[in-house]
């Protein structure tokens, strides 16, 4: 019996060692395959990667695009930046701290949307951007809201796409909680997450876009495998792990938001509860508008980018009118 147990433990150790070697090899391959697309800005507590898309002439305004969980800046930039650029906007798409190519020096401390808001605003100001219209998708919805609450001189308008914003029944997936922990998390993310993630990547992406099919070559164009790197996966898990407590604390403050706000969401979202978050945001944020897209899932910016751009334009117009009144 002891020999059998020892043999089993040996097999487990060998499998974990093989998974560790595979993960290290795959990280190097992924980083070579998906290089940084923009510029780096050093801030106190991190290094932010962003892509700055400028119009031909003087910009009529600046749009800040912030991606949700498990993604990076390209998820927002690819469907939205070209159209906004043609309309005359400067568009900055940013990797949240710990995602894509942005560093995360504060570990789990930087999981707070409020902390990420501070870091991203600091990066924007370092490149000369003093005010923006913030567009936040999914998990970044509450970060966009925090910018409107605590940085209203910077965030002059708000567009929320299928946002996370309010407390919800239940919790989060077990693998998020597990990989966010101090001891088990590093062990799991450095061994089994990479092979399991690569195996299930297409299925996971399909769930995000359902009932629409995922865009052609979505994973390759966006560089989704970047999230499977151990440090990125832990950062992503920590972000998700703290979010319910954060929105529970923040939601009572939404009535203090004074910037023009639009919410765009799909009625077939299988990832975030539309009736809780999108309807709740439209209810609790003064003057917010709500547009619910029939048959659309969790990614309205990919399913109907023109509709989202129109919503951004409408907020931009309201922002100018809001500024004129002041």
CA dist., res. 291 & res. 266, Å (int):
8
pLDDT tens for each residue of 221-263: 999 999 999 999 999 999 999 999 999 999 999 999 999 999 9
Nearest to 273 by CA among 172, 204, 176, 203: 172
pTM beyond 0.75, yes or no:
yes
pLDDT above 90 covers a percentage of the chain that reads 85
Residues 117-155: pLDDT tens digits? Answer: 999 999 999 999 999 999 999 999 999 999 999 999 999
Note the pLDDT tens digit of each residue in 75-123: 999 999 999 999 999 999 999 999 999 998 777 789 999 999 999 999 9
Q: What sign results for the dihedral spanned by CA atoms 14, 16, 17, 22?
A: positive
Average pLDDT in the chain: 93
Q: Which of 71-75, 283-287, 317-321 has the lowest mean pLDDT?
A: 317-321
Quick check: helix, strand or coil at residue 228?
helix
Structure tokens at 268: 């077939």
The CA distance from 246 to 113, in Å, is 8
Look at residue 174 in the predicted model and tell me its pLDDT: 87
Contact yes or no for 84/63 (Cβ under 8 A): yes
Q: What is the pLDDT of residues 266-299, one digit of tens each?
A: 999 999 999 999 999 999 999 999 999 999 999 9
Assign 3-class secondary structure to 99-132: CCCCCCCCHHHHHCHHHHHHHHHHHHHHCCCCCE
| Cross-strand partners of 66 | 94, 136
Judge whether residue 7 has pLDDT over 70: no
Residue 220's pLDDT band (boundaries 50, 70, 90)? very high
CATH number of 2-164+172-325: 3.40.50.1820
């Amino acid at each position: 019996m002891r020999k059998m147990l020892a043999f089993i433990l040996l097999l487990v150790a060998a499998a974990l060692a093989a998974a560790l070697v595979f993960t290290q090899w795959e990280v190097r391959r992924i980083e070579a395959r998906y290089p940084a697309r923009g510029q780096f800005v050093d801030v106190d507590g991190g290094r932010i990667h962003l892509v700055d898309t400028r119009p031909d002439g003087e910009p009529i305004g600046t749009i800040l695009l912030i991606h949700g969980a498990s993604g990076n800046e390209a998820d927002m930039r690819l469907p939205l930046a070209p159209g906004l650029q043609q309309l005359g906007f400067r568009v900055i798409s940013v990797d949240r701290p710990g995602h894509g190519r942005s560093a995360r020096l504060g570990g789990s401390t930087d999981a707070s949307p409020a902390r990420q808001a501070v870091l991203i605003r600091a990066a924007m100001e370092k490149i000369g951007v003093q005010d923006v219209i913030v567009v936040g998708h999914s998990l970044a919805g509450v970060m966009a809201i925090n910018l409107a609450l605590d940085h209203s001189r910077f965030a002059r308008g708000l567009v929320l796409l299928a946002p996370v914003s309010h407390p919800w029944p239940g919790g989060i997936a077990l693998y998020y909680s597990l990989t966010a922990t101090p001891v088990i998390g590093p062990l799991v993310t450095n061994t089994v997450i990479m092979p399991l993630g690569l195996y299930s990547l297409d299925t996971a992406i399909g769930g995000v876009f359902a009932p629409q099919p995922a865009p052609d070559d979505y994973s390759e164009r966006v560089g989704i495998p970047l999230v499977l790197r151990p440090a990125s996966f832990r950062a992503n898990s920590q972000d998700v792990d703290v979010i319910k407590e954060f929105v529970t604390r923040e939601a009572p403050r939404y009535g203090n938001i004074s910037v023009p706000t639009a919410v765009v969401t799909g009625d077939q979202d299988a990832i975030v509860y539309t009736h809780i978050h999108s309807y709740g945001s439209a209810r609790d944020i003064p003057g917010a508008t709500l547009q619910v897209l029939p048959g659309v899932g969790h990614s309205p910016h990919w399913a109907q980018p023109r509709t989202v751009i129109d919503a951004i334009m409408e907020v931009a117009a309201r922002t100018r009118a809001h500024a004129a009144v002041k």
